[in-house]
Amino acid sequence: MEVKTFQGGAHIPHFKSYTEDKPITRLSPPKEVIVPLLQHMGAPCEPLVKEGDKVEIGQKIGDSEETFSAPVHASISGTVKEVGKRTVPTGGEDDCIVIEADDGPQEFEMKQIRDPQNIDLEEYRKCVREGGLTGMGGAALPTHVQVKYNEQVDTLLLNGAECEPFLTCDHRIMVEKAEELVRGAELMMNSIGAKRTLFGIEVNKPDAIEAVNELIKDRDDMEVVSLAVKYPQGFKSHLIKAATGRDVPRGARSAELGCIVRNVGTTVASYEACVYGKPLIERVVTVSGPKVTKPGNYIVRIGSPISHILKECGVEELENHKVVIGGPMTGLAQPHLEVPVVKSSTGVIVLPPDMTREWMEYTDCVRCDKCVEHCPMMLYPNQISIYAEAGLHEKAEEWDLMDCIECGICSYVCPAARPIVHWVQRAKPEIQKLQRSRK
Amino acid sequence: MVSDTQKLIISPSPHLKAKDTVGSAMRDVFIALLPVVAVAIYFYHVYAAFLIGVCLVTAVLTELLFRKLSGKKPTLHDWSALLTGLFVALLFTATTPWWKAAIATFIAVGIAKELMGGLGWNRFNPALFGRVAMILLAPIFAFVDDWFAPLATYMGSVDVATQATPLAMLNAGMEMPPLGQLFAAFPGGALSEVSPLALLIGAAYLFYRKHITWHIPAAMIVTVAVLTLIAGENPLYHLFTGGMMIGAFFMATDWVTSPFTDRGKLLFGACIGILVVIFRVGLSPTEGVAFSILIMNAFVPLIDKAMKRPSFSEPRKQTQAS
Ligand code: SF4
Ligand code: SF4
């Protein structure tokens, strides 16, 4: 078996054994959901409901006229308790619709409303838009934006790398929902006119590779690409490079790259949106960590507060722990437990004090070059960090700070514990300002 | 930062961290030097132990003093002061007057490290800087010798210490000791020169712990070997004598004062190799390795700039043309 990969990157302990064998199960719906009006990159939705309104599960409760946006839906039946500011997992407060459950039906009824054989591009795009589909792997772009015909796009690349430690939701989806996944891929491939589909899967998921292979073994337009287990294999740029061998220059559009990348969860959800008319109201979330009594891969309603999820999974003691939404390399540590999971939340990870550490205790760079050796973007994180820390943005830009994908490897390997990603995130808007002022 | 309500820790990503710290890495280098320390003490007994002790104590005191003066927190826990002290001691011969070694350590830790901004900002390898400073300052210190003479401690006689160093023998065209013996353990010269084998054992540990890469030592050794071969000499004698081994594996590979990238490291090592051969074949052989490394230290920023690799998202030339 040929195993493909990219240059740089690092082997990070992956802690997947807590949940990789745990079948996907449903978590009971919470009494209250907090649905943010902005869960994607782009324009926020306008609320379609107001306080006191009755809503049904699956009902659209927020939408926008903007192209770069995706509607949001009620993930439980109940009454709108509030439309207002709540803490969101991306940090800070934002507009949310809070729904209190009533005794109406709390499960979405799955009945087939379309024949997957007869869905054309236009209809497909409408379905994923109306279903509120966004990227579910990390970068939460509205899915419908990329649904269009482009002659140069010959490849649909499905991202099943799941390189972040702890996370296993995509892994379980590939194993348990391989059929929906392959059908969803077929639907997407045919509607955008791509010629082939590649499933990029890291080799630490042999059961997923086998499940998908079993279904596509007689097809010559689909293929599994086995990828080396290396972080950040699942980042779009590195997945494309590894799976297709194509370069990914900065700012390149899908047409120039000749391929479109889709997360496996998004692919299954798009299929369900088209065929069953099921909007994105729930997703598989990996709940894990060494102190979690019932770790697993759970179907969780969008908007469920993490307090509900952690209670169901038997987490009690949290003092000095870190609760991260997403993976531990790129996810965000949450300030309290009344934060909801959203469409792009891949995991809720509870890190005990001995696994993580506070970032204040960093020292000067000792030029050990470990970050340079491992940076998957071939940057110089050490130089970038020195200039970004000092606010010397022009210098930082010269050392290609803007190309940083914030994968976190540099801070992970740094013996001086320098919070490089933090400085990069702080410097990016400043450099953007500089770049604009030059034009 | 601890959030007030539920006492959750919040900090920027990534939330995982590899175990290595600056302190643990420096400690590993310290450990890697223990074999050669053992051989040195075996040959020079209390002379070696005393010299090392003086340097370690001076290093710690110097760091405390400079940190106090600059109002910064002491960073003894990062082991770098102790390590510099040990390195300085290993660069001297066993019978060096203790005050000379102490001044060298003071210069290394105080001036070459702390005054340059602390660990990470020093451009020159502190230990080599201290050692070479003492060579250059020798005329000044000649008369100081007399002041300190009453302080000289007599610790019994060591006959091996007065014998010509293998490197001097090599240069004088004298009959050389058998190579195997030279490699395993042979007294003469600085403490670190007694046993290439012991240094290699230490270096193997550093490779195993991934603190150094092969690029600098390999480039340096291959360059010296090839050039001395061309000059018609036996390269093995050059590799196993003088500061070559400690230079290649422990000094030139110093994190702070070597280039970033593998290509930069190869170039850096090769240039040091060339300088070493020039020093040894053309000029005076003493401390040629130390001078060569320090000279190349000065070029590191230049090498880093010149060898900057393109970013992953840098458009390739061919695709631009098409
Ligand atoms: S500089 Fe950016 S791309 Fe490179 S390792 Fe650090 S976070 Fe990743
Ligand atoms: S890993 Fe940290 S200490 Fe090492 S070169 Fe990079 S920033 Fe500097």
pLDDT tens digits, one per residue of B242-281:
889 999 999 999 999 999 999 999 999 999 999 999 988 7
CA distance B37 to chain A (A): 25
Q: Which ligand is nearest to the CA of A413?
A: 2
The β-bridge relationship of strands A322-325 and A347-351 is antiparallel
State the DSSP string of A121-133: HHHHHHHHHHTT-
Residue A46 scores a pLDDT above 50: yes
List, edge to edge, every strand of the sheet that includes A46-47: A46-47, A60-63, A72-73
User: For B28-37, what is each residue's pLDDT tens digit?
Assistant: 999 999 999 9
The β-bridge relationship of strands A259-263 and A282-288 is unpaired
Q: What is the average pLDDT across B167-191?
A: 78
User: For A366-377, what is each residue's pLDDT tens digit?
Assistant: 999 999 999 999
Least confident of B82-86, B130-134, B143-147, B211-215: B143-147
Containing A424, the helix (H) or strand (E) segment is helix A420-438
Residue B285 scores a pLDDT above 70: no
User: Phi first, then psi: what are they for A239, rounded to 5°?
Assistant: -65, -45
Q: Which of A256, A337, A220, A419 lies closest to B14, judged by CA? A: A419
Contact yes or no for B179/B236 (Cβ under 8 A): yes
Contact yes or no for A295/A22 (Cβ under 8 A): yes
Q: How far is the CA of A379 from the centre of ligand 1 (A)?
A: 7
Least confident of A114-128, A192-206, B149-163: B149-163
What pLDDT does residue A57 have?
Answer: 94
CA-closest residue to ligand 1 atom 5: A375
- Say how far apart CA B59 and CA B79 lie, in whole Å: 10
- Number of Cβ pairs closer than 8 Å across A and B? 173
CA separation, residue A150 to residues A118, A146, A155, A258 (Å): 20, 10, 11, 9
- Say how far apart CA A343 and CA A33 lie, in whole Å: 13
Contact yes or no for A269/A131 (Cβ under 8 A): yes
Residue B320 scores a pLDDT above 50: no
Residue B2 scores a pLDDT above 70: no
Q: What is the CA radius of gyration of chain B?
A: 22
Give the up-direction half-sphere exposure of residue A326: CA atoms within 13 A in the CB hemisphere: 25
| Residue, of A108 and B152, whose pLDDT is higher | A108
Contact yes or no for B293/B259 (Cβ under 8 A): no
pLDDT tier at B283, thresholds 50, 70, 90: low
pLDDT tier at A17, thresholds 50, 70, 90: very high
Q: What is the average pLDDT across B205-217?
A: 95
Determine, for residues A321 and B16 on separate chains, whether the beta-carbon distance falls below 8 Å.
no
Per CB-CB distance under 8 Å, the chain B contacts of A400 are 311, 314
Residue A290 scores a pLDDT above 80: yes
Is B118 an 8 Å CB contact of chain A? yes
User: For B52-97, what is each residue's pLDDT tens digit?
Assistant: 999 999 999 999 999 888 888 877 778 899 999 999 999 998 888 8
What pLDDT does residue B265 have?
Answer: 96
3-state secondary structure of B6: coil
Contact yes or no for B166/B182 (Cβ under 8 A): yes
Determine, for residues A378 and B260 on separate chains, whether the beta-carbon distance falls below 8 Å.
no
CA-closest residue to ligand 2 atom 2: A414
Determine, for residues A415 and B24 on separate chains, whether the beta-carbon distance falls below 8 Å.
yes
What pLDDT does residue A424 have?
Answer: 96
3-state secondary structure of A176: helix
Q: Could you tell me the pTM of the whole model? A: 0.90
CA distance A362 to chain B (A): 10
Q: Where are the domains of chain A?
A: 3-20+110-275, 28-107+281-355, 359-438
Contact yes or no for A152/A257 (Cβ under 8 A): no
The alpha carbon of residue B92 and the mean position of all alpha carbons in its chain are separated, in whole angstroms, by 12
As a whole number, the mean pLDDT across chain B is 86
Residue type, position B301, single letter = P
Using CA coordinates, name the residue in chain B closest to A412.
B17
Contact yes or no for A291/A326 (Cβ under 8 A): no
Determine, for residues B9 and A165 on separate chains, whether the beta-carbon distance falls below 8 Å.
no
pLDDT tier at A316, thresholds 50, 70, 90: confident
Please, where are the H alpha helices in A399-419?
409-413
Per CB-CB distance under 8 Å, the chain B contacts of A365 are 120
Determine, for residues B3 and A324 on separate chains, whether the beta-carbon distance falls below 8 Å.
no
Q: Which of B234, B239, B237, B205 lies closest to B221, judged by CA? A: B239
User: For A165-191, what is each residue's pLDDT tens digit?
Assistant: 999 999 999 999 999 999 999 999 988
Per CB-CB distance under 8 Å, the chain A contacts of B9 are 320-322, 333, 353, 356, 358
- Say how far apart CA A119 and CA A186 lie, in whole Å: 11
First-to-last C-alpha distance (Å) of chain B: 51
pLDDT tier at B318, thresholds 50, 70, 90: low
- Say how far apart CA B162 and CA B185 lie, in whole Å: 16
Q: Token pair of A225, please?
A: 């690409």
Is A357 an 8 Å CB contact of chain B? yes
Contact yes or no for B223/B269 (Cβ under 8 A): yes
Which one is the CATH code of B22-141+151-306: 1.10.3430, 1.20.1440, 1.10.10, 2.40.50? 1.10.3430
What pLDDT does residue B149 have?
Answer: 62
Which residue reads 């405390």 in tokens?
A: B64
ipTM of the complex: 0.88
What pLDDT does residue B319 have?
Answer: 45
Beta strands in A306-392 (DSSP E): 322-325, 332-333, 347-351
Which residue reads 């995706």 in tokens?
A: A70
Contact yes or no for B259/B304 (Cβ under 8 A): yes
Is A421 an 8 Å CB contact of chain B? yes
User: Phi first, then psi: what are they for A367, rounded to 5°?
Assistant: 55, 40
Atom in ligand 1 nearest the alpha carbon of residue A408: 7
Residue among A378, A382, A399 with most chain B CBs within 10 A, to mutate: A378
Residue A21 scores a pLDDT above 60: yes
Residue type, position A329, single letter = M
Per CB-CB distance under 8 Å, the chain A contacts of B310 are 378
Burial A10-49 (b: 16+ CB within 10 A, else e): bebebbbebbbebebeebebbebbbbbbbbbbbebbebeb
CA distance A373 to chain B (A): 7
CA distance B306 to chain A (A): 13
Per CB-CB distance under 8 Å, the chain B contacts of A379 are 311-312
What pLDDT does residue A118 have?
Answer: 83
- Say how far apart CA A130 and CA A62 lie, in whole Å: 11
Of A248, A335, A349, the CB nearest to B3: A335
Q: Token pair of B169, please?
A: 């023998």
What pLDDT does residue A79 have?
Answer: 95
What pLDDT does residue A378 have?
Answer: 95
Is A35 an 8 Å CB contact of chain B? no
Of B8, B22, B314, the CB nearest to A323: B8
> CA A172, A178, A180: angle at the middle one, nearest 5?
115
Is A335 an 8 Å CB contact of chain B? yes
Q: What is the average pLDDT across A47-58?
A: 94
Cβ neighbours for A70, distance < 8 A, ≥ 6 positions apart: A39, A40, A42, A45, A129, A132, A133, A134, A142, A143, A144
Beta bridge partners of A72: A62
Determine, for residues A247 and B315 on separate chains, whether the beta-carbon distance falls below 8 Å.
yes
What pLDDT does residue A412 have?
Answer: 94
- Cβ neighbours, 10 Å, residue A144: 23
Contact yes or no for A262/A147 (Cβ under 8 A): no
- Say how far apart CA B16 and CA B309 lie, in whole Å: 28
Atom in ligand 1 nearest the alpha carbon of residue A8: 5
Q: What sign does the dihedral A102-A104-A105-A111 (CA atoms) show?
A: negative
What pLDDT does residue B156 have?
Answer: 54
Residue B180 scores a pLDDT above 50: yes
Q: What is the average pLDDT across A309-324?
A: 89
Residue type, position A54, single letter = K
The architecture that CATH gives domain A3-20+110-275 is 3-Layer(aba) Sandwich (3.40)
Per CB-CB distance under 8 Å, the chain B contacts of A359 are 11-12
Residue among A360, A364, A406 with most chain B CBs within 10 A, to mutate: A364
Of A248, A330, A417, the CB nearest to B17: A417
CA-closest residue to ligand 1 atom 8: A407
Residue A315 scores a pLDDT above 90: no
What pLDDT does residue B322 have?
Answer: 36
Q: How far is the CA of A341 from the centre of ligand 2 (A)?
A: 34
What pLDDT does residue A358 have?
Answer: 63
